[in-house]
Amino acid sequence: MDKKTIIGILLIGVILVLYSIYTQPSKEEIARLKIQRDSIAKVEQAKKAEIAKQQAIADATTQQKAVVENNDSSVVKNDSLKNKQIQKQYGEFSDATQGTRKFITIENDLLKIKISTKGGKMYSAELKKYKAYDKTPLILFTGDSTIFGINFFDQNRSINTDNLFFTPSVSKEKLYAKDQPVKISFRLTASEGKYIEYTYSLAPDSYKVDFSVKFSGMKNILAQNTNTLALDWSYYVRQLEKSKMTENNYTTIYYKPYKDNVDKLSSSGDDKEELATKVRWVAFKQQFFSNVLIADNYFPNVVIDQQKLGEKGYIKKFHANMMLPVDNMGTTQTYPMSFYIGPNQYNTLRRYSKIGNDDNLQLQKLVNLGWTIFGWVNRFIVIPIFNFFNQFINNYGIIILLLTIVIKIIILPFTFKSYMSSAKMKVLKPEIEEINKKIPKEKSMERQQATMALYRKASVSPLGGCLPMLFQMPILYAMFRFFPTSIELRQQGFLWADDLSSYDSVLHLPFNIPMYGDHVSLFALLMTISMIFYTRMQNQMNPAQAGGMPGMKTMMYIMPIFFMAFLNNYSSGLSYYYFLANVITFIQMYLFRRFVNEDKLRLQIEQNKKKKHKKSNFQKRMEEMAKQKGRR
């Protein structure tokens, strides 16, 4: 990219921002549109009310005529017809279509689970130690939109247990697991000895809910050749965090194939996967919390899909359809499972990764720490250091500061090596400029060969300042993964930031800037300023690179602006860490300058020039490439 291209990109960006501001409606226009919408809504509401009124009058008239014209026998006949329709649709489960929905709560100090007699399902789940972003109780899911039922064919009828009434094994409305586990069963009865039973068990201080499905005497009810039953599970995912955009990026369905690695759907939008393989667990995962259904054995195959929602207060709709194998329905058959309903905390998930017959469920992979080397950095360096300081310090801003200092000390040798390489390049700058003056730009091959010869004589590698930086990149990216997924930072304030896991805002804008947002993050702004100063310092330390690639030099100053736009809506803890890292780097560079004598360095380079040097393989390849370029 040359300077004209970069200026063009900047102008396009400025035009887009100005256009969005110019086309944004004024407060008067917004108020006028609101009045128009309200007026239209009132008219439509009045029309609907009038139509409903007229329909009610017509229905009442029809009903009065029916009462006059029909006798009691006709009423009985209608009830009989209705019963026949229910019997035809639900067969032996027809009695379970009638009932009154009641709720029974099982809870401990961590969880509060409300179970409905209609469907025998978990109607809602509350995590008692946490709050939503608006300080209301953190309810992971709730409402009639929650579906959890078994679909099967009763001869030629399709039946879903989610619509039928179960009978609880206890009459109490609340069971509290204080000192010992609580257990409750919900039975859907077809006839004597024929039933489906759900059993829930909750232990004290546990995020795990043991769950099992029991079938008894179902052989003559199920359609012939039935070898699987479908367990249908879905609900609307509620917004729990301050930044809906960030929460959406970390909200998706995870699953673990049997004896294979954890995988997931794309978090960017709608997605669907038909898994024609054994699956050990399926997780409805959000940024900081998950609801995981774990089979003690496995599900033969699973279909999962998600839909992105635009409604306020909701993120996505999750759906999973899991098969339960049928062996011998003539006797009793039980499917043991369990739910993990809790935080995405790395060590907590590792503790629950031993359930049933599997010693390693890999639940901790619900915390996305990055792949390969980036994940290793987080698991073996960042998380242990963070947890160590967390034992003694409650202020997470101070913990991030100490974490930054420790990491900068670990990579200090690489930083020093990078500085020394830049210092050597600075000493050689006059000689490089002299080469550029003697050899015209048109003879680029000769200029490159002369420059490489100078580097070889001085024992200086042009990549000496870049290679140490490559060793630091895994840590920078690991931090990019660590902060937005660290539940310890959730709703923890520091200075002006009220939540280090989300963005900080010191100024709310009356308009929205594309790619930036409608607020100003001070930590992101400080990070950008420090990054610009760091870039300027690097250009001063490595003048050969700065002078040789003017387009790249300009690009290096533009990059911090792009980072500011991106991090403005990201974790303030991450911006704070990058800012601290830059400040500590400034201090290190200042100390390096104080203790590194450039005159001695120049003398060392002059002594290196007098020695006889052998060309390195890298230098040979560079010279060969230059020769080939010159021949063309």
Query: What's residue 408's pLDDT?
Result: 86
CB 379 within 8 A of CB 364: no
Burial class for 74, CB neighbours closer than 10 Å (0-12, 13-18, 19+):
exposed
User: What's the mean pLDDT in 254-279?
Assistant: 86
User: What's the mean pLDDT in 510-532?
Assistant: 83
Query: What's residue 462's pLDDT?
Result: 63
CB 379 within 8 A of CB 367: no
User: What's the mean pLDDT in 112-128?
Assistant: 92
User: Which range has the worst mean pLDDT, 301-310, 377-386, 427-436, 507-516?
Assistant: 427-436
pLDDT exceeds 80 at position 435: no
pTM listed for this prediction: 0.73
SS3 state of residue 308: strand
Q: What is the enclosing helix (H) or strand (E) of 453?
A: helix 444-458
Query: What's residue 632's pLDDT?
Result: 53
pLDDT exceeds 90 at position 455: no
Contacts 24+ apart (CB under 8 A), 245-250: 245/569, 246/287, 246/484, 246/502, 246/503, 246/569, 246/570, 246/571, 247/286, 247/287, 247/315, 248/308, 248/315, 248/316, 249/287, 250/285, 250/286, 250/287, 250/368, 250/484, 250/485
Query: What's residue 75's pLDDT?
Result: 44
Q: What are the structural domain ranges in the chain?
A: 3-68, 74-99, 149-170+178-367
Please state whether beta strands 302-308 and 333-343 pair in parallel, antiparallel, or not at all (unpaired). unpaired
The secondary structure of the chain in percent helix, strand, coil, rounded to multiples of 5, reads 50, 25, 25
pLDDT exceeds 50 at position 76: no
Confidence of residue 107 (pLDDT cuts 50, 70, 90): very high
DSSP state of 279: E
User: What's the mean pLDDT in 352-378?
Assistant: 78
Query: What's residue 77's pLDDT?
Result: 47
63, 64, 65, 72 from 69: Cα distances, Å = 10, 9, 6, 10
> How many Å apart are CA 489 and CA 400, to the nearest integer?
10
Q: What is the pLDDT of residues 564-608, one digit of tens each?
A: 877 888 888 888 988 898 888 888 888 887 777 666 766 766 666
> How many Å apart are CA 611 and CA 500, to the nearest integer?
55
CATH 2.70.98, applies to 149-170+178-367: yes
Of the candidates 308, 321, 339, 52, the one whose C-alpha atom is nearest the C-alpha of residue 203 is: 339
In terms of average pLDDT, the best of 65-74, 417-426, 501-510 is: 501-510
Half-sphere exposure of 594 (CA within 13 A, CB side): 6
Q: How large a percentage of the chain has pLDDT more than 70?
A: 71
Confidence of residue 53 (pLDDT cuts 50, 70, 90): very low
Confidence of residue 471 (pLDDT cuts 50, 70, 90): low
Return the structure tokens found at 354.
Answer: 């031993």
- How far the first Cα of the chain sits from its last, in Å, is 23
pLDDT exceeds 80 at position 370: no
Of the candidates 345, 614, 263, 214, the one whose C-alpha atom is nearest the C-alpha of residue 453 is: 614
Provide the strand spans (E) within 182-221: 182-191, 194-202, 208-216
CB 335 within 8 A of CB 322: no
Return the structure tokens found at 483.
Answer: 């902060």
Q: What is the pLDDT of residues 295-351, one digit of tens each?
A: 888 888 899 999 888 788 888 999 999 888 877 565 778 889 999 999 999 889 988
> How many Å apart are CA 283 and CA 579, to the nearest integer?
35
Query: What's residue 40's pLDDT?
Result: 46
Of the candidates 231, 207, 233, the one whose C-alpha atom is nearest the C-alpha of residue 366 is: 207
Mean pLDDT of the chain: 77
Q: What is the pLDDT of residues 382-402, one digit of tens each?
A: 888 888 898 888 898 999 999
Q: How large a percentage of the chain has pLDDT more than 90?
A: 16
pLDDT exceeds 60 at position 74: no
In terms of average pLDDT, the best of 6-15, 431-440, 528-537 is: 528-537
Query: What's residue 73's pLDDT?
Result: 47
pLDDT exceeds 90 at position 290: yes
CB 118 within 8 A of CB 101: yes
> How many Å apart are CA 475 and CA 374, to the nearest integer?
7
Query: What's residue 312's pLDDT?
Result: 83
> How many Å apart are CA 51 and CA 38, to the nearest integer?
20
> How many Å apart are CA 283 and CA 137, to the nearest integer?
22
> How many Å apart are CA 365 and CA 150, to the nearest integer?
29
